[in-house]
Structures are given as structure tokens and as C-alpha cells.
Amino acid sequence: MNPNEAVERLNFILAHLWMIRNFLKHADEVQEDEEMLDVHRLIYDSIRATEPAHQRGDAAEYLRKLKGKLSKLKRSAEFFAREYKRVSSHTNFEMAAISYSGAVRQIEEILEAVKVENEGGAEASEG
């Protein structure tokens, strides 16, 4: 997978995360829970971090920015999957947790599949 293909796939996944973020942002159940509020804030921050590079068509910078956010996204998805039931056991929250965890796994897989630069600065092929 080349960097431009990766960005296209990742942007689709980030759009999905945006919808999860929107659900959580407006969910009454999380409004008094600072840790839960941090979930949608992190998603927002992660997506917005990639926007300037996407607008410039800079795939390498987009991938670098998203890779830099990945560990926080993973921790956040794990937290949400583990803790969502303390705010609500509603199916919407369960599905959001599954979606969030799945999207983060897909981001990780795509970032692993594309190598933007190797030591020589050339694009490496998919393994």
C-alpha cells in the first residue's frame, strides 16, 4: 500500500471516528464524567491534527501525525471499552465501544502496512 492509498483509507476510518465522537459529545450520560469527555476530545484532537497535511496533500506528514496519536487512541479505546457500562449499558454505548476499538485496530494495521520512508528516503513496499 502506498502512502496516498493509506491516507484515503485512513480518512474513511477517521470519518467513522468522527461519528463516534459526535455521539459521545452529545450523550447526556457522559456530560458529568471528565474521563468520558476526554474520549471525544481525543478523537477530535487526533482528527484535527491530520487536517492540515490532508489539505496540502502531504501524505507523509498525515501518516506521521496520525502515527503520533495512535498510542493515545489505543489507550482511549481500551478505556472506553472497559468503562462505558458505568455511564450506560445502552446498546448505543456498546456499539460505540466496538466501533472505536475496531477503528483503532484498522488504523494500526494500515499504518503498519505502509512504510512512508525507509533509511534511503524511498517508499518501501507492502510486505
* Angstrom distance (rounded) from CA 9 to CA 15: 10
Given this model, what pLDDT does residue 44 score?
A: 98
Query: Which is nearest to 19 in space by CA: 99, 102, 110, 111?
Result: 99
pLDDT band at 37 (very low <50, low <70, confident <90, very high): very high
Question: Average of pLDDT values for 57-62?
Answer: 96
pTM attached to this predicted model? 0.86
Given this model, what pLDDT does residue 120 score?
A: 32
CA Rg value for the chain = 16
pLDDT band at 4 (very low <50, low <70, confident <90, very high): very high
Query: Which is nearest to 109 in space by CA: 58, 61, 70?
Result: 70
pLDDT of residue 13 exceeding 70, the answer is yes
Per the listing, cell 450520560 goes with 29
